[in-house]
Amino acid sequence: MSGRYTISQLARAAAVPVTTVRYYERVGLVRPEDRSLGNYRLYGDESLRTLKFIRSAQSIGFTLDDVKALLSAPQSGAASCRQVQSLIEERLADVDRRLKDLRHVRTVLKTALGKCRKSEAQGRCVVIESLRQPE
């Protein structure tokens, strides 16, 4: 790592779009560490590590708010571990809610498919008809 990156070099090194780096900068997750003679923002190795940390955290389900909390947490100790456990518990609860919703959607779609297959022989689609019904 060279230690001084323009925004496009940083984005390329972290495998994210430049717009993502700009967004993370706007929300305070990444900050340029210097300016070039041409007044370009320059980022250091710490910014690259932060971008990679964000990507890793998001890949396992953490939100950007979670990432902010993780980045501001102490680097070690029982307090930081408890904070991470709390965030994980929140994400697990979210995943459980989404799974429940998806199971419901799956059931509804399977039922709709069965009804659609039965009504097809009659030259109509009961699913479209039911969707067009005013509530």
Q: Tell which phi-psi region holds residue 77, choosing left (phi > 0), alpha (psi between -120 and 50) or beta.
A: left
Task: Work out the pLDDT band at 79, boundaries 50, 70, 90.
Answer: low
| Strand spans (E) along 17-83 | 34-35, 41-42
25 within some domain: yes
Report which of 81, 91, 79, 5 is spatially closest to residue 48, judged by C-alpha positions.
Answer: 5
The model carries a pTM of 0.74
46 within some domain: yes
50 within some domain: yes
Domain count, the chain: 1
105 within some domain: no
Beta strand pairing call for 34-35 and 41-42: antiparallel
Q: Please give the share of the chain, as a percent, with pLDDT higher than 90.
A: 63
116 within some domain: no
CATH number, residue 48: 1.10.1660.10
Q: CA 63 to CA 68: how far, in whole Å?
A: 9
127 within some domain: no
39 within some domain: yes
pLDDT given for residue 37 in this prediction:
82
Residues 67-75, mean pLDDT to the nearest whole number = 84
72 within some domain: no
For residue 6, give its domain range: 1-60
- The pLDDT tens digits of the residues spanning 15-70 come to 999 999 999 999 999 999 888 888 888 999 999 999 999 999 999 999 999 999 88
Q: Please give the share of the chain, as a percent, with pLDDT higher than 70.
A: 96
Residues 38/72, Cβ–Cβ less than 8 Å: no
Q: Collect all residues with Cβ–Cβ distance below 8 Å to 84 and sequence separation of at least 6.
A: 70, 73
